[in-house]
Amino acid sequence: MKFAVKAWSNGRARAGILHLGTSTIDTPSLLLSTRKGLPHFISPDLLSCLPSPESRLLHVSPLHFLEGLSMKTISKIGGLHQLLGLHDHCFVSVPRDSIQCLPEANSTNKIGASFETPCGRLLIKPVEYMEMISSTRPELWATLADEVPAWVSDKRNKTSVDRTIKWLDECISLSPASGAVFGAIVGGSSLEERRRCAQEVATRNVSGYWVGGLGLGESMDERPALLNAVIEALPEEKPRLICGLGLPEEILQGIAAGVDLFESTYIYHLTLGGFALTFPLDRTQINALNLAPSDVGSDPRKINLRATVFRKDTMPIVEGCTCYTCRNHTRAYINHLLNVHEMLAQILLEIHNTHHFLGFFRLIREAINAGRFEEFRKEFVQRWR
Amino acid sequence: MALRFEILGRFNRARAAQLTLPHFVCQTPLFMPVGTQGTIKGLTADQLEEIGCQIILGNTYHLALRPTSELIDELGGLHKFMNWPRALLTDSGGFQMVSLLHLADITEKGVTFQSPVDGKPMLLTPEESIQIQNKIGADIIMALDDVVKTTITGPRIEEAMHRTLRWIDRCIAAHKRPHDQNLFGIVQGGLDPVLRDICVRGLVDRNLPGYAIGGLAGGEDKDSFWRVVAQCTATLPEDKPRYVMGVGYPLDIVVCSALGADMYDCVYPTRTARFGTAIVPEGVLKLKHKAMAEDTRPIDPTCACMVCKNYTRAYIHSLVTKDAMGSQLLSFHNLYYMMQLSRNLHSSIVQGKFPKFVCNFLQKMFPKGDIPEWVCNAMEVAEIDISSCCAPFRYIQATKVQSNLNEDEIQAV
């Protein structure tokens, strides 16, 4: 893995280039969320219709495979690339997936990190986690962390930092030859603990940093200070990955603090709910914005295609959008699919939403490169208040 | 008539043809996946084109409920609504009504039932079925027939057959788009050869663009099933397509093709995919089975589909019944299998290699040579020699049934 910062805007926001596996990816960038390595709905042969190379970073939680596939078998098959038939993509392994594998801080103990998963509550020891990493062979992986929600006691929070650092060292010592390691940083909502953890991890031999424990109960207002406390302690030249920040405003918050990579479940939740992103990505789309306020309720950034107003709407989700869904299908058709509970609805929505959200990241990178990220951020937040 | 049917090759009763429909030029024999509600579960139009789907079936009953035929018409027809560039076929809506709605009742007027939306009494007449199908706009539409289960006996079957003939005239009269939609009649008559014959002759008199053999695939024994198909294909006109409704399993399709049928539809490939079952040359593969968890082979090493080229049984096993992606991938494979079967049927007949194809097919499915008797009997009638794939004892059993050889002569075989 190689990473270099190419441009700065407004102090901390940065644009960079990440070389990972066979891909060269501009940052800030988005990791697509997966289930057992494949998108939730988009079948693998349709992945190539997403913009490339931006869509090549896939977040994989190794815990997904505990349901039905042994690590020995995965190893025998040859790791994730062979298992999933995706040779052009890059896999980033983080145990938490913010959808179905959620850290269970009450059950985590000194032996391992506890997660609520579809197979029940699992306790993952560092040695077990590293076995998963060795078998799956992702290009990049985060060390095992003790993530706690914002409301735990100071004592519990401090313990989580101590544990996370201890597990980091264990994971590194068991680390396979290939694959870049990102050190996990926690600390809950304590500025002190966040700083302490970041400072410790900064001294370790890692390729980058994974900021964990956010999106677990802290408010958006608290977050900038917490992020700054962490980022200030980290070297500039190494990339920073964060999970738990899903909404566009949260992404902007993270970028403003100096984060480069985001694992977000926003697309998944939108898709499940029948929502499609519609906020304009360029001038022509802003002009073509043809949504009457009454049509879309209180949020003009997205439409809910279940709404009866779309029954006969022969427009694509977003006019001018070049995604597979918008080039081929109408709002009316997707509305019908949603009404009759057909899987194709989610497939088409996930394609559009992924395409659109990746477009958002492209706009962000353009703004950073042009030195006007703060301006872009203010305008975005203002327009869609 | 809005179709052209040109036979390109034959082997005895089997035929390979080119069926030119308003939206697509098809090659028969062909299998039509069922896209009940305007979509094949989990697959995009692109993927369907890629695996070679030529015609997709839409269910009139479901589409009339949601999003309604009026809406489909207003938006330019089902092809445009789905963005499916190839051919479509809609059924009459009658079958679902009878099979899905208890309290449905058939009278001379039509099928009366309780609306599933609000419980109000409703009536689907032949006229209305055709009207709805005219609005949907498929290349082939089906007449409303009085369909009875083959497991029923008695005068009901005869009543249904005669009513089907009276209804075809009402369907023909109501059909407003004969120039771009082909109305197929459906042969009924249960398992009674006399009734079937009357129905065939009645429908042929109406000179329809194509004919379906209905009322089968509902639980009758296989021996009765193939005999009805054989009788109908022997008496239906040569130069028009024959569609066996609700069929089905690959073995059934091969047998029916040998007997002279051209088109098939069934929910089986996609439905069985959702239960974790893959269709393979040997029969089926149950991916849910524990043994699959360690199996690093593809589902079918001889299959060229995206799923078999990229995934192991072990991985698919981890997905099936738990993640939507599992049924998507299996549906993709199963439909690819059916499309490949269609292509193989067509090309082997055209190339004069049909018996070889059939033998190969049977050998893979019955490696011990234990081919079911009904298949042997049907192939006998189809004049396809499958002796090379039958275990010797079984073959003699079959020929003993069919032939007039006495004991001494059989010993000599």
The reported pLDDT for the residue numbered B396 is: 52
Percent of chain A with pLDDT over 90: 82
The reported pLDDT for the residue numbered B249 is: 96
Residues of chain A where predicted confidence (pLDDT) is lower than 50: 291-296
Matching CATH number, A2-263, of 2.60.40.10, 3.40.50.300, 3.20.20.105, 3.40.50.2300: 3.20.20.105
Cβ-based contacts under 8 A for chains A and B: 119
Predicted TM-score (pTM) of the model is: 0.93
- Name the band, by pLDDT with cuts 50, 70 and 90, for residue B99: confident
Scanning A95-124 for CB atoms below 8 A from B yields 118
Nearest residue in chain A measured CA to CA from B74: A312
The yes-or-no verdict on residue B304 having pLDDT over 50 is: yes
Backbone angles phi, psi at B23, to 5 degrees: -100, -15
Number of continuous H segments (helices) and E segments (strands) in chain A: 14, 16
Catalytic, out of B91, B146, B252, B262: B91
The reported pLDDT for the residue numbered B41 is: 82
The yes-or-no verdict on residue B390 having pLDDT over 50 is: yes
The reported pLDDT for the residue numbered B357 is: 97
- Mutation target to probe the B interface, by most B beta carbons within 10 A, among A32, A65, A73, A350 is A73
What six digits make up the tokens of A333? Answer: 């058709």
> Could B45 and A311 be called an inter-chain contact, meaning their C-beta atoms sit closer than 8 Å?
no
The reported pLDDT for the residue numbered B411 is: 45
Residues of B in contact with A348 (CB under 8 A): 44
- Active site (annotated) includes residue B239: no
Write out pLDDT tens, residues B363-383.
999 999 999 999 999 999 999
A275–B contact, CB cutoff 8 A? no
> Could A312 and B71 be called an inter-chain contact, meaning their C-beta atoms sit closer than 8 Å?
yes
Helix (H, G, I), strand (E, B) or coil at A218: coil
Radius of gyration of chain B (CA): 22
Backbone angles phi, psi at B65, to 5 degrees: -75, -50
Residues facing A115 on adjacent strands: A103, A122
Domains of chain B: 4-266 (3.20.20.105), 275-382 (no CATH)
Q: Distance between CA atoms of B298 and B319, rounded to whole angstroms?
A: 14
Nearest residue in chain A measured CA to CA from B329: A43
Beta-carbon-side half-sphere exposure of residue A173 (alpha carbons within 13 Å): 8
- Active site (annotated) includes residue B118: no
Residues of B in contact with A332 (CB under 8 A): 67, 71, 75, 81
The reported pLDDT for the residue numbered B150 is: 75
- Name the band, by pLDDT with cuts 50, 70 and 90, for residue B219: confident
Residues of A in contact with B325 (CB under 8 A): 35-36, 38-41, 43
Query: Is B95 known as a binding-site position?
Result: yes
> Could A336 and B323 be called an inter-chain contact, meaning their C-beta atoms sit closer than 8 Å?
no
> Could A340 and B62 be called an inter-chain contact, meaning their C-beta atoms sit closer than 8 Å?
yes
Which of A43, A73, A328 lies closest to B45 in CB terms? A328
Write out pLDDT tens, residues B29-53.
999 999 888 788 889 999 999 999 9
In this structure, the dihedral spanned by the alpha carbons of residues A263, A265, A268 and A273, taken in order and rounded to 10 degrees, is -160
* DSSP conformation class of A39: -
Query: Is B215 known as a binding-site position?
Result: yes
Contact predicate A234/A202, CB 8 Å: yes
- Mutation target to probe the B interface, by most B beta carbons within 10 A, among A32, A40, A41, A45 is A45
Write out pLDDT tens, residues B64-76.
989 999 999 999 9
How many other CB atoms are there within 10 angstroms of residue B154's CB atom?
A: 9
Contact predicate B172/B204, CB 8 Å: no
Q: What is the mean pLDDT of residues B210-220?
A: 90
Catalytic, out of B146, B252, B265, B300: B265
Q: HEC profile for B85-133?
A: CCEEEECCCHHHHHHHCCCCEECCCCEEEECCCCCCEEEECHHHHHHHH
Shortest distance between the Cα of A19 and any Cα of chain B, in A, equals 25
> Could A324 and B44 be called an inter-chain contact, meaning their C-beta atoms sit closer than 8 Å?
yes
Residues of B in contact with A40 (CB under 8 A): 323-325
> Could B41 and A339 be called an inter-chain contact, meaning their C-beta atoms sit closer than 8 Å?
no
Q: How many degrees, rounded to 5, is the angle at CA A250 between CA A244 and CA A251?
A: 85
- A3 Cβ partners below 8 Å, 6+ apart? A16, A17, A18, A19, A27, A207, A208, A237, A238, A239, A260
The reported pLDDT for the residue numbered B303 is: 97
Strand B182-187 to B210-213 pairing: parallel
**What are the sequence ranges of the domains in chain A?**
2-263, 271-285+299-383
Which of A76, A85, A336 lies closest to B311 in CB terms? A85
The reported pLDDT for the residue numbered A225 is: 94
Q: What is the mean pLDDT of residues B138-145?
A: 97
Which of B45, B67, B325 lies closest to A311 in CB terms? B67
Residues of B in contact with A38 (CB under 8 A): 325
Residues of B in contact with A328 (CB under 8 A): 44-46, 83
Shortest distance between the Cα of A87 and any Cα of chain B, in A, equals 10
Q: Distance between CA atoms of B369 and A332, rounded to whole angstroms?
A: 53
- B226 Cβ partners below 8 Å, 6+ apart? B255, B256, B259, B374, B377, B378
Scanning A315-374 for CB atoms below 8 A from B yields 324, 328-330, 332-333, 335-337, 339-340, 342-344, 346-348
The reported pLDDT for the residue numbered B158 is: 93
Q: Distance between CA atoms of B258 and B16, rounded to whole angstroms?
A: 10
The reported pLDDT for the residue numbered B104 is: 78
Q: Is the dihedral of CA B63, A350, B305, B327 positive or negative?
A: negative
* Mean pLDDT, chain B, whole residue set: 91
First vs last C-alpha separation in chain A = 39
Query: Is A49 known as a binding-site position?
Result: no
> Could A336 and B38 be called an inter-chain contact, meaning their C-beta atoms sit closer than 8 Å?
yes
Helix (H, G, I), strand (E, B) or coil at A118: coil
Which of A46, A70, A335 lies closest to B44 in CB terms? A46
A314–B contact, CB cutoff 8 A? yes
The yes-or-no verdict on residue B77 having pLDDT over 60 is: yes
Which of B74, B83, B317 lies closest to A68 in CB terms? B317
C-alpha distances in Å from residue A63, one per residue of A59, A93, A210, A245, A358: 12, 10, 18, 21, 26
Q: Distance between CA atoms of A269 and A204, rounded to whole angstroms?
A: 36
Nearest residue in chain A measured CA to CA from B290: A68
Q: What is the mean pLDDT of residues B236-244?
A: 98
Nearest residue in chain A measured CA to CA from B40: A344
Q: Distance between CA atoms of B56 and B41, rounded to whole angstroms?
A: 12
Among left, alpha and beta (phi > 0; psi -120 to 50; other), residue A66 is alpha
> Could A344 and B296 be called an inter-chain contact, meaning their C-beta atoms sit closer than 8 Å?
no
- Mutation target to probe the B interface, by most B beta carbons within 10 A, among A81, A84, A342 is A342
Write out pLDDT tens, residues B148-196.
877 788 898 999 999 999 999 999 999 999 999 999 999 999 999 999 9
C-alpha distances in Å from residue B276, one per residue of A333, B142, B266: 28, 32, 17
Which of A38, A69, A339 lies closest to B66 in CB terms? A339
Q: Distance between CA atoms of A277 and A303, rounded to whole angstroms?
A: 7
Strand B140-142 to B182-187 pairing: parallel
Shortest distance between the Cα of B80 and any Cα of chain A, in A, equals 9
Q: HEC profile for chain B?
A: CCCEEEEEEEECCEEEEEEECCCCEEEECEEEEECCCCCCCCCCHHHHHHHCCCEEEECHHHHHHCCCHHHHHHCCCHHHHHCCCCEEEECCCHHHHHHHCCCCEECCCCEEEECCCCCCEEEECHHHHHHHHHHHCCCEEECCCCCCCCCCCCHHHHHHHHHHHHHHHHHHHHCCCCCCCEEEEEECCCCCHHHHHHHHHHHHHCCCCEEEECCCCCCCCHHHHHHHHHHHHHHCCCCCCEEECCCCCHHHHHHHHHCCCCEEEECHHHHHHHCCEEEECCEEEECCCHHHHHCCCCCCCCCCCHHHHHCCHHHHHHHCCCCHHHHHHHHHHHHHHHHHHHHHHHHHHHCCCHHHHHHHHHHHHCCCCCCCHHHHHHHHHCCCCCHHHCCHHHHHHHHHHHCCCCHHHHHHC
Write out pLDDT tens, residues A66-111.
888 999 999 999 999 999 999 999 999 999 988 888 999 999 999 9
Shortest distance between the Cα of A29 and any Cα of chain B, in A, equals 25
Query: Is B308 known as a binding-site position?
Result: yes
Q: Distance between CA atoms of B42 and B44, rounded to whole angstroms?
A: 7
Nearest residue in chain A measured CA to CA from B45: A328
Residues of B in contact with A344 (CB under 8 A): 39, 41-44
Q: What is the mean pLDDT of residues B68-97?
A: 93
The yes-or-no verdict on residue B321 having pLDDT over 60 is: yes
Query: Is A197 known as a binding-site position?
Result: no
Q: Distance between CA atoms of B63 and B188, rounded to whole angstroms?
A: 25
- Name the band, by pLDDT with cuts 50, 70 and 90, for residue B122: confident
- Mutation target to probe the A interface, by most A beta carbons within 10 A, among B75, B320, B334, B336 is B75
Which of A65, A69, A343 lies closest to B324 in CB terms? A343
Q: Distance between CA atoms of A293 and B56, rounded to whole angstroms?
A: 39
The reported pLDDT for the residue numbered B397 is: 54
Shortest distance between the Cα of B331 and any Cα of chain A, in A, equals 11
Contact predicate B213/B200, CB 8 Å: no
